[in-house]
Structure 1
Amino acid sequence: MMTDEKYSLLLMRDDCRVRRLRVSPLALRLLTVSLVLLPLLAAFGVWAGFSFWQANRTLVNQNQALDRDLKEARVELERLSNLESLLRSSDPEELRALLGSAALASPPAPAPAKPGDANGAGDGVVTAPGQIHAPAGAQAGEQTPLPSDDPTQAGVDARVPDAASQAVAAAVADTPGEAREALSTGEARVDNVTVRHGSGKRLRINFDLTNPDPKKQLGGQALFSVVAADGRIQPLKVEPDTNRFQISRFKKIVTSAPLPDGLAPADVQTLVVELEAEGRIIYREQYPVPAPEK
């Protein structure tokens, strides 16, 4: 007959009864093993938590990088879609205007100055800011007469306004201020504006429209008007849907409009570009119109 071996654990305290606790050898072994494994399990948990935290941090950084790449890809896709819509257009004038604006976007390199030409005047004399460069006769000791304030004595240099200039000034003075004053709320930016005369008394207009805040969609339409030589401001009727925009970053606006009746191409002085969004004007600027090619 096998005896059940157990260990007796006596708990004794002063002035108290003795308590006896019997523990089997198996339970005592399990308790010893658990006390050894518990620190090892704790160390493994700390190591696993740190490793998973590092992996999670790496995934977060990769997600942010992919998000930035996705936004840049969307902007590039929108730009390419705009270019594709322009390339599909059957009007060769618009394509020529697009290529011309791309060529104008890169400014030409400045010409190198000649030796001894410190200020570009060609005579080797440095002119201080605000100082008028004297002619060769004045440098040799001759006295140069000062311009007279009398228009009858000044002749052409007096720049007496002619009748056309007076008419322009009077018309601009009578025009409401909002029709000629520049305005920009910062919600849109217009760059590389190109205006030229086309065939059939039409104006070819193209420019780059940029939304400074890509988090907000910018939608609206572009309004155009011309200022004639006599100061009259006349609106232009552009081709349908060529002046409307709904962008998050960038769009190339290319459109054309016929001149108003009774207005000759040579009489067009400036072009007024306005951007309307949410029923209000957010941008307005005037741009000179070159003379038509003969």
Structure 2
Amino acid sequence: MNDSKYSVLFMRDDRDVTRYRVSPFWLKMFIFTQVFLFLCAAGGIYMGVRGFKVNADLQSENKGLEQRLVDAEVRLERLGNMEKILQSYDPAELQSLLSSATSELEEEKEQITVDLNKIFTRVDTQQVGVENLQARIAGRKVSVSFELNNLQASKAVVGQAALSFVKKGGESVSAKTNRSDLSFQIQRFKRIQTTFLLPDGLEQKDLFGLRLEIKGKGGDVIFAETYPFYHILA
């Protein structure tokens, strides 16, 4: 029984049957070798993919660090220029200049007024209805979507929507949106979606909400409402 072997037959139409006798040991070694090579190949592929991902992450991080370094160098150069300018001024003259600038800023602040009625007044002429308005902010990218319903069943509604940001201080800043995304001509219902960037100098922490205004074909506002971000952010 210890000398038992497997017989392997190879048959072709144009030749006689060829027979090989194989020891169970060598057959097992062949199978184990194939399994081992398969595992090595799978491990190699996994390590290659993982290494590629790690390398891509490192390159992305390196680009971010390089950009931060460039920004820091620019700020440092500006500070250096400011220091040179300040050193060239007479201290008494500089103090007088700073006092004058401070007084002007205080006067400007006193003159600034915010019309809260304009920012928060709701307009609804019952021509269109807005539902499920949602906003998403990722970095400086803003995505807004809402459902617009035609409340006049007898005719289509044509118009243009506009978006603006309401800051925590009450100021309003227009959003630079794609006009075609917010134009509409609807008989019953339309879902509107648009994506745009935050205006320069504006951060999410500065924002209170989003104001939506919808104008009809003649340019008159037929719907307007301000939505706090804590209600609409997805």
TM-score (norm: length of structure 2): 0.48
Structure with greater strand percent: 2
Instruction: Select the structure that is richer in helix.
Output: 2
Larger radius of gyration: 1
